[in-house]
Structure 1
Amino acid sequence: MSEESVDGARRARPGRGRRPAAEVREAVLTAAAAQLFEGGLAAVTFEKVAARAGASKMTLYKWWPTPGSLAFDAYFHAVEATLAFPDTGGIERDLRTQLHAFVGLLTGSAGPVIAELVGAAQSDAVLAEAFAQTYTRPRRLLAVQTLQTAQRRAQIRPDVDPEVVVDQLWGACYHRLLLPDQPLSLDFADALLANLLRGIRA
Structure 2
Amino acid sequence: MSHDEAPARRGRGRRPAAEVRASVLRAAAGLLLNSGIRAVTFDRVATAAGSSKMTLYKWWPSAGALAAEAFFAHSAQQLEFPDTGDIRADLTSQLRAFVRLLNRDGTGAVIAGLIGNAQTDPELSAAFSKHYSAPRRALALAAFEKARERGQLRDDIDLGILVDQLWGACYNRLLIPDAPLDEAYAVALVNNALDGAGPNPARRPGSRG
TM-score, reference length from structure 2: 0.87
SS of structure 1 residue aligned to 2:173:
helix
- The alignment partner of 1:82 has SS state of helix
Question: What do residues 104-134 of structure 1 show as CA deviations (whole Å, max 9, x unaligned)?
Answer: 0111221000001111111222221121122
Structure 1 position 158 matched with structure 2 position 155 = yes
- Match for residue 122 of structure 2? 125
Q: CA RMSD in A?
A: 1.0
Out of 21, 32, 46, which is 2:28 matched to?
Answer: 32
Gaps of 5+ in 2: 1-11, 200-209
In structure 2, the residue matched to 1:82 is: 78
Which of the two has higher C-alpha Rg?
Answer: 2
1:53 has 2:49 as partner: yes
1:18 aligns with 2:14: yes
Question: Aligned partner of 2:99: which letter?
Answer: V
Deviation at residue 18 of structure 1 after TM alignment: 3.1
- The two structures have a TM-score, normalised by structure 1, of 0.90
Offset, 1:92: 0.6
Distance in 1 between residues matched to 2:31 and 2:121, nearest whole Å: 21
Separation of aligned partners in 2, 1:147 and 1:67: 34
Structure 1 segments (4+ residues) deviating >6 Å: none
Runs of at least 5 residues in structure 1 that lack an aligned partner in the other structure: 1-15
Q: Secondary structure at the match of 2:13?
A: coil
Give the counterpart letter for 1:139 in structure 2.
R
The 2-side partners of 1:41 and 1:89 are apart by 38
Alignment check: 8 A CA contact 2:20 2:51 kept: yes
Size of the aligned set, in residue pairs, is 187
* CA distance in 1 between partners of 2:151 and 2:50 (Å): 51
More helix by share: 1
